[in-house]
Structure formats: C-alpha cells, structure tokens
C-alpha cells in the first residue's frame, strides 16, 4: 500500500521531469544561431584580389570588412571597398546569392557600380564592377573576395 509520502515523491519527480522538459524546449531557440538572415553568412573579413581591365598587369590585394547594414534589410556595408580607406564603405543589396552594388558616390568622389556572385560555399565572392575617380575615366574591375575570418 502506497503512503502519502510515496505519492508526494512521485509528484515531485513527475514535476521535475516536466519542468526539465519545458526548460530544454524553451532553450532550444537560444542555441539556434541560424537567424534566417543570409547577410549573417557574409559578415567577416575578406581578402580581395582586384584587377583592372585596361591595365591587366596592375593587380592589388587588400582586405575588406563586410557588415550588415544597421537600418536597411537585405543590405550590407563593405568597408575599405576598392581599397579606398578604412572609413569608406559601399552599400550592396543581397538577393539569393547575388550582390548588387547600385551606382553610388563614395567618400573621396569615387563613383562605383556593379555586381557580385556568391559561390556555393559562401566563402568566395566574384565581383565585376566599374569605378570612376571623378575624372570621367571609367575603369572595369574584376575582384575576388575570399573569406579569411580574422
């Protein structure tokens, strides 16, 4: 015959199991790092190999930082774009695996525009863009961004 003490122990045990199950279920969301925002896959430091088309022998390597735009959904900021300086950034929109660099005038008077294609692993972006330093001479560039993850 079960005593009152046995019933209380069983109730406490059952309550503890239910509580642990609820806590486990509610914490699952905290451990899930996939926000559903593909821009998160781009936020990092990237090495850039940049080559101009009229001057094929001229090739530069530098690093950029990609961050999510703080105010505009589906937009990123690319700091040190075209090697123009730490505080110079270009804005690009993300749609699927395509980045679009709408025509914009960057600090220092550079006008840029173009697009980039993100490769399947999200560790490389191949860009085709134009840049004009304000002189009216538009130069074409192909740039390959490779994630270095500093």
Q: Give pLDDT tens digits for 125-135.
A: 999 999 999 99
Same domain, residue pair 20 and 59: no
Same domain, residue pair 5 and 51: no
CATH of the domain at 131: 2.40.128.420
Give per-residue burial for 2-15: e unless 16+ CB within 10 Å, then b.
eeeeeeeeeeeeee
The region that residue 79 occupies, defined by phi over 0 for left and psi between -120 and 50 for alpha, beta otherwise, is beta
CA–CA distances in Å: residue 14 to residues 1, 9, 22, 23: 20, 9, 12, 14
Same domain, residue pair 4 and 67: no
Structure-model confidence comparison of residues 90 and 35, the more confident one: 90
Same domain, residue pair 42 and 28: no
Which residue in 72, 69, 66, 57 sits closest to 127, CA to CA? 66
Same domain, residue pair 106 and 60: yes
Q: What is the pLDDT of residue 36?
A: 87
133 φ, ψ (degrees, to nearest 5): -80, 5
Q: What is the pLDDT of residue 122?
A: 96
Q: Count Cα neighbours of 30 within 13 Å in the Cβ-side half-sphere.
A: 5
Strands 59-68, 124-132: pairing is: unpaired
CA-to-CA distance for 40 and 149, rounded, in angstroms? Answer: 13
Same domain, residue pair 18 and 43: no
Same domain, residue pair 26 and 43: no
The tally of domains found in the chain comes to 2
Each residue of 15-64: pLDDT tens digit? Answer: 554 545 555 555 544 444 556 899 999 999 999 998 876 554 456 789 99
Q: What is the pLDDT of residue 16?
A: 55
Q: What is the pLDDT of residue 114?
A: 98
Same domain, residue pair 21 and 86: no
Each residue of 96-147: pLDDT tens digit? Answer: 999 999 999 999 999 999 999 999 999 999 999 999 999 999 999 999 999 9
Same domain, residue pair 42 and 6: no
Which residue in 48, 47, 54 sits closest to 140, CA to CA? 54
Question: 67 is in which domain, residue-wise?
Answer: 38-147
Same domain, residue pair 137 and 118: yes
Same domain, residue pair 61 and 1: no
Say if CB 40 and CB 32 are below 8 A apart: no
CA-to-CA distance for 64 and 150, rounded, in angstroms? Answer: 11
């Amino acid at each position: 015959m079960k005593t009152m003490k046995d019933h209380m122990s069983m109730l406490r045990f059952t309550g503890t199991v239910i509580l642990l199950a609820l806590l486990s279920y509610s914490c699952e969301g905290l451990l899930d790092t996939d926000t559903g925002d593909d821009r998160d896959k781009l936020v990092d430091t990237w090495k850039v190999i940049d080559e101009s088309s009229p001057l094929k022998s001229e090739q530069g390597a530098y690093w950029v930082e990609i961050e999510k735009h703080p105010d505009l959904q589906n937009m990123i900021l690319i700091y040190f774009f075209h090697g123009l300086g730490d505080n110079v950034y270009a804005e690009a929109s993300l749609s699927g695996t395509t980045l679009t660099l709408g025509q914009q005038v960057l600090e220092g008077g550079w006008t840029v525009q173009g697009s980039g294609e993100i490769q399947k692993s999200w560790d490389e972006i191949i860009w085709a863009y134009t840049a004009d330093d304000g002189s009216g001479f538009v130069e074409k560039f192909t740039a390959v961004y490779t994630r270095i993850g500093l």
